[in-house]
Structure 1
Amino acid sequence: MEALVLFLFAVLSTVQCEYKTLHGTVDDPGERTKTFVFDAKDTEIANHRSKRAAAPAADLASDGITKINHLNDTHKQLMVHWVGEKSNVVICLARDPAPLIPGFTTMGPSNVYISYDDGDTYVNKTDSFKNNGSYSVLEKFYNHPKYNTHFVFTDITNNSLFVTTDYGQSFRRIPLIFTPSEVSFHEYYPSTFVLLDKNDTSNKFWVTEDFGKSFRLAHEFVKSFFWFKDSDENLQLILQRSEPNNMSSIIYSKTLFKNRASQIYATNVKDFFLKGDYLFTTKNNSKGDLELYVSYKLGRQILCVFNTTQKAKSFFVVDVTGSRALVVISHSNVTSHLYVSENLAGNDGKVKFTLSLENIFAFLPGTTWQDSWLHHLYDEAFIDIYKVEGLSGIYIASKLISKPVGSSLGPQHLGSVITFDHGATWRPIQPPARDLEGQTTACVLARNCSLHLSQKFGQIFPDTRSVSILSSKSAPGIIMATGVIGKSLKGHYGVYISLDAGLTWRHILRELYFFNMGDHGGILTAVKYYKTKGETRHIEYSINEGKQWKKTAFHNEELKLYGLMTEPGENTTVFTMFGSLPEHHQWIIVKVDLKNVFNRTCKPNDYKMWSPSQSTEFRNYIPCVLGEQITYEKRMPDALCLNGLDYVRVVSKQKCGCDVNDFECDFGFMKLGSPARCVFDKNLTKAVGYDPYKPPSTCKPGSFYNRTKGYRKISGDICVGGFDFHYLPDMVPCPVEPIDDFLLFAQRERISR
């Protein structure tokens, strides 16, 4: 086995692709991700056999209504998509994962199952996917973002498409002369989609405007593409095209490149990424240093300047909220820092970024952790940072707390921190004082002990494969996570919950679980994670915010479970589990409706008003986040009533007075002391030649300019008045320039000056 692993690593090193200098978190086109992939690679897999999906079992759960579907399918992965929009359609693609090394192993045929009754029953549609009599090897499928009846399924092995306009009731096969590596729909037109062939050395880009009846070659040498709305709300198609000098050009067109008509946005670009309304590009300057540029809706490109003397190897755009960006720079193999911008509109022709968090954990293929197991087993860039949903400015990140020796990267090297002000300040996560049994945890921040929450790294790490953080717009303030109490992410895992947006936490379950929430946060559910807890036939639930848990059976045999999901939005009481019997892997889908655990529907007096608040070891703050007090209606935990699908949460907003919490260090300053103050950074000034006190070049005598006090208001913060005069810049007069005029005066014998 060891020899095989070494062989795989050796082969992988010979098939390395061109590394990117710019990555980012892709925006979700919908409200929440509707497609999930469940993996059963760790189970014993027999040869694939597929029969018609079995009829659902009779109702089983005493506390809910259970529907069980045996797919009789042994594939290793199940891609599940909730169509939503009141369609009651759920689509499942059973497939094998792509081989680790292209061409080293082959993928077998895939199977497709579709439910038209919201997951009560599934129809085996595999016979609709054949290529010349043989079953297709389907890689994935794509759903139109607005016309949700339209789907495109891709077979990149046999170069064919299968399309439907009626939720899969019928399919039409389309043979292709190219490989449909990537597919994307036009947002406005149901019959228009584009395809990129990454299997062709010319990376050809194709367009169809009649739902696959004909295709037009639009361009070649395309590395990536994005849809984008310009300032006039026209949908533009943007391409990154490779050029002979190994650089790229960015071109765009609102006519889908008919007759190759296009406009040039940028040339001599290394890489390109789109985030919201902002376009980011990387270029090398005259010294060969990598630089980042940003523009708003195809406007002027502005240079991004970072308050660091370290060179950049690559960038990762984490988030853009409003006009404020979070960007990670990898400075070396093991060193990456998070930076936060001022307003992306820039000032004096530049957008200035200040340091937000040092040593954030970042995996950027070809740039970081090249000597670790991650480099060999994972090929997608990621930053271990989570944006809490439903509230603004709250992020949870993993940072490197110690440097690993050699390739021994593990959870013991990572720890968690949280910010409530969009990255202006970070702090350890407050641990619960008592554990699940009520025993003291003996963990306090003063002893370097805190709560650490698992994210992407924990999902990938072979020894844990833990579940990441969960929050929802429909349940503001509630966060569920897999966590460890101690000095790092290494330790005894459990499930923790915060009801106040991450300020305080409570231990609710021991060991690893899959977990979810429904009914706008009114019900929490969990099932044992088979990797550490073995099989189960029970689902556990709580309707009082995790204080007490009950369990109910969902199957007459114990199953290995690979996931617990609810329809995106977390508004229903319906939960779906995906698993198999322990002795032989065959997919089983179990749907449980727990609506009956509530004995009544909520009334107005079952609710209270709640606001998130901030606190530090030095003082407590009124419940203001980014200069605004937001008050939410929230069900009281002991009401034990059903919110219901039609529940609309009451929200009120009010601006707050300004405080130090509404400001961050200006460019050219750094945090120092405890509590932290922003002080002049002399080293940065010497290194980059930037003087934050220097009057602007446009400052003329008789006018005024803003002279910084070392602070700047957090972009997006809307506080007014208060103590803002302590932090806002001073208005000072522009200096009077010395004049070289002279005065003549007469003396007895001569004229002097």
Structure 2
Amino acid sequence: MAPIVFLLTFYLLVPFFFGQNQSFGFPSGSDERSSVFSRGEPLKKQSFRAKRDVGSQSAGTEASLCISEVSAEELKKLKQHTHPFDFEDDDGSTITLAWVGDGNGVILALTTFEMPFHWLFKAGSSRLYRSEDYGKTFSDISDRINKNFIRREFGINVGPENSQRVILTADVSWLSDKGKIYTSSDAGKNFQSTDLPFQPAVRMSFQPTHPDHLLAHSLGDALWLSLDFGKTWTKVHESVHSFIWGSENTFFFTAHLNNSDTGMLVLKRTMDLGKTTEVIAKDVYAFGFSGRFLFASIIKTQGAPRRVFVSLDQGNSWSEAQLPPVTHEQFYSILAADDDMIFMHVDEQGDAGFGTIYISDDRGVLYSESLNHHLFGASNGANDFTNVTSLRGVYITNVIRKDGSVQSVITFDRGGKWKPLKTPENSHCASSGKPGEMCNLHIHGDYSISQHINVPMPPLTASSAIGLIITHGSVGNAISSLTPDVYISDDGGYTWMKTLSGPHHYAILDSGGLIVAVEYYTDQAIQTLKFSTDEGQCWKLYNFTENPIIFAGLASEPGTKSMNISIWGYRPKQGYSAVWISVTIDFEELLTRVCDENDYITWLAHSTGAENEMDGCILGYKEKFRRLKKSSVCRNGRDYIVSKDQKPCLCTKDDYFCDFGYYRKENSSDCIEEADLKGHDLEYCLNGNEELLKTKGYRKAPGNKCEGGFEAERIEEVKARCEKLRASTDSKPNRTAVIAISILIVAAALMTGVALILKKYVCGGRALVYRYSALQPKDDDPCLADELDSQADNTRQVYHDDSDEDLIE
């Protein structure tokens, strides 16, 4: 799929320039190809000081940690392969970096200076640079784009993976209805100028497998298509709200009826690159497409709750997603999704700041309750849900307890069970020490960053660095807002170790064989890099510059294969100006030996150390990996491939989720029937058929590969036809206003969208349509039919843009 853009922003403030003074970390282990650095406000002369020297770093707060200076031989090699580069006479307040191609060392850097006079009109200047050696040197190639001004919000638009295609969107007068782009198919060696028949409103969207195919959304809400990499364009549709590529020649978009700018939306599909379009859903509030799943949330009548339908055949047939109802002040968000299942957050009523996580079956239709009181910022969409890509089945997030404290929990079986993180052995508990009080590790994520806690980066993992997790956190009975420390797990979250004191920026290189970190300061310049070759057990300190710089961010080639790390920052000059500084360090000459078979060990993932056949069995099978020994000082290299051996396990009850109408008690594998559901049939609508579910309480977890052993009887029977999602557009829409859809961006980046609602079921002697199950103990809920009836009587008829938004991630 096309790469996702991750932004890192620092601003240079001058009396007439409005910006922000903030910093974000760059997850080099992800597949992001583009990043943005911006200069922060230059420090005053008396506060521009280097942080404590190398000698004092080993003392004080880090005295108990394994930290030392580099040896004389290491220092000599590092200095020989440290490459500073000054962007002299460049007045850009932001700089955008983009890796073009894979493993070729080509980087484009775009500096931008903007002077905003109006949200539609900005003036400024841009300069474009190109590097062919991983950022060690740059050449000014601004003349290739005629020194045009490229607005920062468009930046460098890089094509899909393994592509050298680049799009730069030039600034034009806001009074004009025309635009201009510069395109390159050879990683920036040459650019071609193209005048557009429209002004782009957002970045152009590449088709993942056909990079010559582009979609563009213009000012004025028209959707445009190019099949020749931007040379020529065809208007597809007017009054388009949102769009997304499907597979091959298919894309989807929502549009207003009769090209108006009001009213409910219809979801349209084209399977022939816009030649013909068809309506596949009406009364649409939001939609999203990810993997096998196409979602559409529907509002049938004004004031009614949203209903969500799921399609596995790109909109030919739909099934209603079965989840609890919500009011218009609530929202839903997909936290993670793949071809097997979906993690869905359902917001709690009121301004609670938390909700419930549900996990789906392999059709995205039936859901089970996984985690209560899940922390989620309703105002900004920030949450701490982390997919640990370095080990399958592992997710970490934060919950809010009744006393308002925030605590971290982890699951190793894709949401089946959650538990607190273990206390790191080398940490002291920061809690009050009261009898019975918990003492666990609690980690910071995007929500903490959004609350301006001193956390520069969210947790970092990489699929090629097996078991490795790097994160900020604190130890106690709840998460602390005080200065966090850096913790590392080398076994996918089962055990933890405090590795660095205080906040840091960090990056994973050489598939986990090398970790680098830089201390994060808001009031000091830096000159020291820390690196580890044993997954954070010990660190070496290296002064990469004699003249400290104000740190802006770390940057390395996506994919964690690189041995090069670039430290970006700037030094203030006279007055309000500053000069960009890039220092690239090549560790390939320090770790000169390529690892051989003797440098690796066989490691059983998810092992508890128990000497039995079921040890390491998670989601129905066990995995053994070939991992680098911590004592081996060598490099994995670019050709390194994760080697693993899989073996199925016998099925047990732990390989099953509790089916609908059943729940698990704490520390139990048995699924127990809900008392108020005994004697009721479980029914739901699937592809237009009313299905009757006969179950003993268990359904196999999606993606589980166990064989033999425990088997659960489960039968789905078709009873009758039920309501299908309407695709016709012969009736007028009921909604009079459309609410903007929030878009969430992540470290590993995933475009899906959905609002979720369950079919209203009836209690008492009437037929029960659906009742969600719980994987955690919970109190019995009152009859929701009565609650829904009372809500319907008091439903507000006015839609607000600051609430009831379905969050798309």
Same topology, TM > 0.5: yes
Verify the 8 A CA contact 2:609 2:615 in the aligned structure 1.
Answer: no
State yes or no: 1:90 paired with 2:107: yes
* Structure 1 residues 420 and 562, CA gap change in structure 2 (3 angstroms): same
Deviations 1:185-228 (A, max 9, x none): 2345454322101x32xx01112233333322211111111111
Structure 1 range deviating more: 296-305 or 661-670: 661-670
* Aligned-residue offset at 1:415: 2.5
Unaligned runs of 5+ in 1: 1-27, 47-58, 375-380, 405-412, 697-704, 735-753
Give the aligned residue type for 2:331. S
Unaligned runs of 5+ in 2: 1-26, 46-72, 174-178, 687-691, 719-809
Deviations 1:226-277 (A, max 9, x none): 1111xxxx4302111123562111112233223xx21222111111111112
* Structure 1 residues 187 and 598, CA gap change in structure 2 (3 angstroms): closer
Verify the 8 A CA contact 2:98 2:156 in the aligned structure 1.
Answer: no
- 1:293 is aligned, of 301, 305, 309, to 309
> How far apart are the structure 2 equivalents of 1:45 and 1:157?
37
- 1:195 is aligned, of 216, 226, 248, to 216
State yes or no: 1:399 paired with 2:399: yes
- Aligned match of 2:622: 629
- 1:172 is aligned, of 192, 195, 200, to 192
- Aligned match of 2:6: none
Larger of the two Rg values belongs to structure: 1
* Aligned-residue offset at 1:692: 4.4
Verify the 8 A CA contact 1:432 1:441 in the aligned structure 2.
Answer: no
Verify the 8 A CA contact 1:206 1:219 in the aligned structure 2.
Answer: yes
Deviations 1:298-321 (A, max 9, x none): 141110112578888322122222
1:409-420 to structure 2, matched below 5 A, reads 413-420=405-412
* Aligned-residue offset at 1:525: 1.0
State yes or no: 1:123 paired with 2:136: no
Instruction: State the number of aligned residues.
Output: 639
* Structure 1 residues 674 and 308, CA gap change in structure 2 (3 angstroms): farther
Deviations 1:87-136 (A, max 9, x none): 32101222358979835x845223322112222211222333448xx644
Give the aligned residue type for 1:400. I
Give the aligned residue type for 2:391. L
Give the aligned residue type for 1:541. F
State yes or no: 1:249 paired with 2:266: yes
Aligned to 2:708, the other structure's residue is in SS state coil
> How far apart are the structure 2 equivalents of 1:188 and 1:712?
36
- 2:183 is aligned, of 163, 172, 191, to 163
- Aligned match of 1:360: 374
> How far apart are the structure 1 equivalents of 2:492 and 2:652?
21
> How far apart are the structure 1 equivalents of 2:717 and 2:540?
69
State yes or no: 1:496 paired with 2:487: yes
Verify the 8 A CA contact 1:431 1:443 in the aligned structure 2.
Answer: no
1:267-666 to structure 2, matched below 5 A, reads 267-285=282-300, 288-298=304-314, 299-306=316-323, 313-332=330-349, 333-345=351-363, 351-363=365-377, 368-369=378-379, 374=380, 381-401=381-401, 413-435=405-427, 447-486=437-476, 487-531=478-522, 534-581=524-571, 585-598=578-591, 600-613=593-606, 622-666=615-659
TM-score by length of 1: 0.77
* Aligned-residue offset at 1:564: 1.7
Structure 1 range deviating more: 294-303 or 643-652: 643-652
- 2:85 is aligned, of 64, 69, 77, to 69
Aligned to 2:457, the other structure's residue is in SS state coil
State yes or no: 1:263 paired with 2:278: yes
State yes or no: 1:718 paired with 2:705: yes
Verify the 8 A CA contact 1:706 1:729 in the aligned structure 2.
Answer: no
Percent sequence identity is: 24
- 1:186 is aligned, of 207, 217, 236, to 207
* Structure 1 residues 658 and 531, CA gap change in structure 2 (3 angstroms): farther
Aligned to 1:520, the other structure's residue is in SS state helix
Structure 1 range deviating more: 653-662 or 283-292: 283-292
Verify the 8 A CA contact 1:251 1:263 in the aligned structure 2.
Answer: yes
Higher relative contact order (CA 8 A, sep 6+): 2
* Aligned-residue offset at 1:395: 0.9
> How far apart are the structure 2 equivalents of 1:277 and 1:708?
26
* Structure 1 residues 608 and 615, CA gap change in structure 2 (3 angstroms): closer
- Aligned match of 1:747: none
- Aligned match of 1:239: 253
Aligned to 2:651, the other structure's residue is in SS state coil
Structure 1 range deviating more: 217-226 or 118-127: 118-127
- Aligned match of 1:409: none
> How far apart are the structure 1 equivalents of 2:613 and 2:417?
15
Give the aligned residue type for 2:600. Y
Verify the 8 A CA contact 1:342 1:352 in the aligned structure 2.
Answer: yes
* Aligned-residue offset at 1:400: 2.5
Structure 1 range deviating more: 311-320 or 269-278: 311-320
- Aligned match of 2:770: none
Verify the 8 A CA contact 2:343 2:360 in the aligned structure 1.
Answer: no
* Aligned-residue offset at 1:338: 3.9
Deviations 1:469-489 (A, max 9, x none): 111111111111111112124
> How far apart are the structure 1 equivalents of 2:231 and 2:554?
39
* Structure 1 residues 467 and 251, CA gap change in structure 2 (3 angstroms): same
Verify the 8 A CA contact 1:470 1:479 in the aligned structure 2.
Answer: yes
* Structure 1 residues 582 and 495, CA gap change in structure 2 (3 angstroms): farther
* Aligned-residue offset at 1:519: 1.7
Superposed CA RMSD in Å reads: 3.7
Aligned to 2:633, the other structure's residue is in SS state coil
Give the aligned residue type for 2:372. E
Verify the 8 A CA contact 1:307 1:353 in the aligned structure 2.
Answer: no
* Structure 1 residues 443 and 616, CA gap change in structure 2 (3 angstroms): farther
> How far apart are the structure 1 equivalents of 2:396 and 2:185?
41
Give the aligned residue type for 1:717. N
State yes or no: 1:212 paired with 2:230: yes
* Structure 1 residues 291 and 454, CA gap change in structure 2 (3 angstroms): same
Deviations 1:376-406 (A, max 9, x none): xxxxx443211111322211112223577xx
> How far apart are the structure 2 equivalents of 1:469 and 1:443?
26
Structure 1 range deviating more: 620-629 or 473-482: 620-629
> How far apart are the structure 2 equivalents of 1:693 and 1:189?
42
Aligned to 1:160, the other structure's residue is in SS state strand
1:27-66 to structure 2, matched below 5 A, reads 32-43=31-42, 62-64=76-78, 65-66=81-82
Verify the 8 A CA contact 2:390 2:492 in the aligned structure 1.
Answer: no
* Aligned-residue offset at 1:336: 4.0
- Aligned match of 2:696: 709
* Aligned-residue offset at 1:672: 2.8
Structure 1 range deviating more: 674-683 or 653-662: 674-683
